[in-house]
């Protein structure tokens, strides 16, 4: 052996030893580590593709708050700087079409600054604030939304109303209609209206004075709900204007309104399902939007519709594609759409090519690794988006769209690289199994960071909410896989029927069968995971879920004793009570087949699939969690579950947050959530690895 070969071999051995040492020096993530990760979002390319704006959210655990700041960097490389300056907390930053200015929000109002960040100017000072800036393609207007009292003619009236409300000693809520509260707030009489303003601050106007509906529809809509026409003379927007039927109708519509004012035109009134989020191609010939065909069903397939502006009717651009159009961006040449869709546990981007007549070709996957969202595209073909995975928080990625796809994909930001290098963060491992109908169902497993070959570890089954949703290869800031696995559990993560990303037939499979085949899928999936992973200890298992996942945990409590512990977060317990206390009535009416006074729905759903009917079978120790501001699954459902267990002498623990809703969002509340979660499982599962 020559000296050179010996030197090379020595180098390889040393490198391998260093890698092994590095792996051994890593540790399991803690909540403090988790809270310290930075959330990167909202990439925005300048029109020439030379500059990129993006947002970074950080958490101050001691102060119990989160702060989002905006940064700007050259796409070609170099250090990023805070925008517009080091002192300003800016968000929702949007480039002007010529790239010379940026509109953003700060302190709840709309601002504008040159691309340099110097000389920032406040554009609004509205009582209801300002958010969601969208530039006109012509650069002469910025659209945004602000909360108003519909019968007020000016902002002085809005201010007087707010002042009187704040000074009143009476805080009672009075209602004459349904939807008197939504998500986590009561109706306070205000509505979110669409405004426009010129970049110099002049001609500030409410485009929909007196309207009793909202743009965007609540509770989660954003600036994706409205857009300008290519010539800047009109805006298309999403709204729900169903009056007294708002609580039990899903009929959103797309409207068109001239910026100069006048009548509003509903462009999708013929469809009684939901229509939303218009995008008008840069050449102005076609508008695309997402549409659900079945009225009353919030999880119907989101079809990608195309409508020629000025013509009647719309058509399904992708009638043979069995995926949801969850998001879509038009390329500057108007010949390509980049469509985001859930697909087998990942959010991916597909390229859809449009011909001269606006006909769409077959979607081709172009951005597929891990989980992808929030894409933006520039005139030179540069694209930027957020990519995340189960073992890494989201970062901005960039690439170039050309004839063969999105090439040169690379990480642009590295906000969390240094911190993540300290931790053992196992990846997801996917598997497939035969479900209730002998069909193919998908799941994930994850090893605990303490995993060692030849040893057994306890098991945690995670059950997602929705029920029409999916576990994704993503880094959640709430139900985070790593934060569960860090307790020493092997995770089993099933996407049973009802899940999205596998075709509408699978998604439809949960409706009117909440405790049926989904439960079978979960148990079969758990058995398949145990069989394939001999390191999993089937004698020490727990299950946890939130929302519909909480319902399924409540159902499990009455139907099997194979688990040593359960965690039910915001789970429906008594379906009859749930129906008349929740706010979006279309949901239980579709899922349960009607209201509880419908005799068929009562016999086949409410009196068959309600967990409270099986309370006599409860034996498994259960941690029950809820928020008093949860109006989707009112907290009394959790109280009833807990009371039913304790009255029978079953061990249970109740965690109630008076200042949280369906989701636990405040940093210290989240810290307590995980502490209670791991404390409960640690008490009931033997966490010592078995040989």
Tell me: pLDDT of 24 over 70: no
Distance CA 620, CA 566 (A): 7
Tell me: pLDDT of 623 over 70: yes
Mean pLDDT in residue range 75-80 = 95
DSSP, residue by residue, 601-628: HIIIIIHHH-GGGGGGG--S-EEEEEET
Strand extents, DSSP E, 79-190: 81-83, 91-95, 101-106, 109-114, 121-122, 131-135, 142-148, 181-182, 185-186
Look at residue 9 in the predicted model and tell me its pLDDT: 37
CB 410 within 8 A of CB 398: yes
Mean pLDDT in residue range 644-650 = 98
The tens digit of pLDDT for each residue in 175-216 reads: 999 999 999 999 999 999 999 999 999 999 999 999 999 999
CB 477 within 8 A of CB 438: no
Distance CA 281, CA 512 (A): 40
Query: What single DSSP character describes residue 196?
Result: E
pLDDT-based confidence at 311, cuts 50/70/90?
confident
Of all residues in the chain, the percent with pLDDT exceeding 70 is 96
Tell me: pLDDT of 261 over 90: no
Tokens describing residue 160 = 């007087």
Mean pLDDT in residue range 30-40 = 98
Query: Radius of gyration of the chain from Cα atoms?
Result: 26
Angle at 458 between CA 453 and CA 460, to 5 degrees: 120
**What's the Cα-to-Cα distance from 106 to each of 69, 133, 297, 300, 374, rounded to whole Å?**
10, 12, 37, 37, 21
Look at residue 19 in the predicted model and tell me its pLDDT: 35
Sheet holding 265-266, edge to edge: 226-228, 234-239, 253-258, 265-266
CA quadruple 240, 243, 246, 251: dihedral sign: negative
Look at residue 16 in the predicted model and tell me its pLDDT: 38
Look at residue 15 in the predicted model and tell me its pLDDT: 36
Tell me: pLDDT of 91 over 50: yes
Strand extents, DSSP E, 246-370: 253-258, 265-266, 275-280, 286-291, 303-308, 315-316, 327-330, 336-343, 346-353, 364-367
Tell me: pLDDT of 367 over 90: yes
Of all residues in the chain, the percent with pLDDT exceeding 90 is 93
Question: What's the whole-number average pLDDT of the chain?
Answer: 95
Look at residue 4 in the predicted model and tell me its pLDDT: 32
Mean pLDDT in residue range 549-557 = 98
The tens digit of pLDDT for each residue in 369-407 reads: 999 999 999 999 999 999 999 999 999 999 999 988 999
CB 120 within 8 A of CB 141: no
CA 339 to chain CA mean position, Å: 17
The domains of the chain are located at: 426-574+610-684, 576-609
CA 468 to chain CA mean position, Å: 13
The tens digit of pLDDT for each residue in 93-151 reads: 999 999 999 999 999 999 999 999 999 999 999 999 999 999 999 999 999 999 999 99
Look at residue 1 in the predicted model and tell me its pLDDT: 37
pLDDT-based confidence at 12, cuts 50/70/90?
very low
Tell me: pLDDT of 14 over 70: no
Tell me: pLDDT of 691 over 60: no
**What's the Cα-to-Cα distance from 108 to each of 91, 104, 143, 370, rounded to whole Å?**
10, 10, 15, 34
CB 383 within 8 A of CB 398: yes
Look at residue 429 in the predicted model and tell me its pLDDT: 98
| CATH top class, domain 426-574+610-684 | alpha beta
Query: What single DSSP character describes residue 340?
Result: E
Tokens describing residue 537 = 């200890």
Backbone torsion region of residue 405, taken as left when φ is above 0, otherwise alpha when ψ lies between -120 and 50, otherwise beta: left
**What's the Cα-to-Cα distance from 143 to each of 13, 18, 169, 455, rounded to whole Å?**
61, 55, 36, 59
CB 133 within 8 A of CB 123: no
The tens digit of pLDDT for each residue in 323-362 reads: 999 999 999 999 999 999 999 999 999 999 999 888 999 9
Tokens describing residue 173 = 């809520």
The tens digit of pLDDT for each residue in 471-486 reads: 999 999 999 999 999 9
pTM of the model: 0.95
């Amino acid at each position: 052996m020559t000296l050179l070969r010996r030197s090379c071999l020595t180098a390889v051995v040393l490198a391998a030893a260093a890698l092994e040492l590095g792996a051994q020096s890593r540790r399991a993530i803690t909540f403090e580590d988790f809270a310290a990760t930075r959330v990167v979002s909202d990439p925005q390319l300048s029109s020439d593709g030379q500059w990129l704006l993006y947002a970074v959210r950080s958490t101050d655990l001691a102060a119990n708050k989160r702060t989002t700041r905006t940064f700007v960097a050259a796409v070609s490389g170099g250090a990023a700087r805070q925008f517009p300056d080091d002192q300003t907390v800016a968000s929702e930053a949007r480039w002007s079409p010529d790239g010379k200015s940026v509109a953003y929000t700060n302190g709840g109002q709309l601002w504008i600054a040159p691309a340099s960040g110097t000389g920032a100017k406040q554009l609004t000072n509205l009582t209801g604030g300002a958010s969601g800036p969208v530039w006109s393609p012509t650069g002469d207007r910025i659209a945004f939304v602000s909360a108003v009292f519909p019968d007020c003619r000016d902002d002085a009236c809005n201010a007087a109303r707010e002042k009187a409300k704040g000074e009143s000693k009476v805080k009672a809520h009075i209602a004459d209609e349904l939807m008197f509260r939504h998500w986590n707030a009561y109706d306070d009489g205000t509505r979110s209206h669409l405004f426009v303003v010129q970049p110099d601050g002049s001609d500030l106007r409410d485009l929909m004075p007196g309207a009793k509906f909202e743009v965007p529809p609540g509770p989660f809509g954003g600036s994706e709900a409205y857009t300008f026409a290519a010539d800047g003379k009109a805006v298309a927007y999403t709204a729900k204007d169903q009056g007294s039927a708002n609580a039990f109708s899903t009929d959103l519509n797309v409207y068109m309104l001239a910026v100069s004012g006048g009548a509003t035109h509903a462009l999708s009134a013929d469809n009684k399902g939901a229509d939303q989020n218009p995008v008008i191609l840069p050449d102005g010939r076609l508008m695309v939007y997402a549409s659900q065909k079945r009225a009353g069903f919030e999880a119907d397939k989101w079809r990608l519709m195309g409508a020629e502006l000025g013509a009647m009717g719309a058509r399904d651009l992708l009638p043979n594609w069995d995926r949801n159009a969850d998001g879509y961006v038009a390329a500057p040449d108007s010949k390509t759409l980049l469509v985001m869709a859930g697909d087998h546990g990942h959010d991916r981007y597909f390229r859809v090519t449009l011909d001269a007549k606006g006909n769409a070709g077959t979607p081709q996957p172009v951005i597929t690794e891990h989980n992808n969202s929030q894409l933006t595209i520039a005139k030179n073909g540069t694209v930027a988006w957020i990519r995340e995975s189960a073992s890494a928080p989201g970062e901005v990625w960039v690439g170039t769209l050309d004839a063969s796809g999105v090439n040169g994909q690379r990480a642009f930001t590295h906000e969390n690289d240094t911190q993540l290098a300290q931790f053992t963060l196992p990846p997801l491992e996917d598997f497939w199994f035969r479900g209730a109908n002998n069909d193919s169902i998908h799941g994930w497993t994850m090893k605990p960071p303490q995993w060692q070959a030849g040893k057994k570890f306890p098991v945690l089954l995670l059950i997602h909410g929705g029920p029409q949703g999916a576990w994704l290869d993503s880094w959640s800031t709430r139900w985070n896989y790593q934060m569960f696995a860090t307790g020493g559990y092997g995770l089993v993560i099933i996407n049973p029927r009802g899940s999205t990303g596998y075709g509408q037939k699978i998604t439809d499979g949960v409706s009117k069968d909440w405790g049926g085949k989904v439960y079978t899928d979960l148990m079969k999936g758990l058995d398949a995971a145990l069989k394939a992973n001999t390191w999993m200890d089937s004698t020490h298992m727990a299950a946890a879920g939130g929302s519909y996942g909480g319902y399924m945990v409540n159902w499990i409590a009455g139907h099997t004793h194979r688990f040593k512990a359960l965690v039910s977060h915001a789970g429906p317990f008594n379906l009859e009570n749930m129906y008349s206390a929740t706010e979006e009535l279309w949901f239980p009416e579709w899922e349960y087949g009607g209201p509880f006074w419908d005799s068929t729905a009562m016999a086949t759903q409410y009196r068959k699939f309600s967990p409270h009917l099986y309370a006599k079978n409860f034996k498994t120790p259960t941690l029950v969690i809820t928020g008093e501001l949860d109006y989707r699954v009112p907290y009394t459902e959790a109280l009833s579950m807990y009371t039913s267990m304790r009255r029978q002498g079953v061990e249970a623990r109740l965690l109630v947050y008076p200042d949280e809703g369906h989701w636990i969002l405040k940093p210290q509340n989240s810290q307590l959530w995980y502490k209670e979660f791991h404390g409960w499982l640690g008490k009931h599962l033997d966490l010592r690895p078995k040989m």
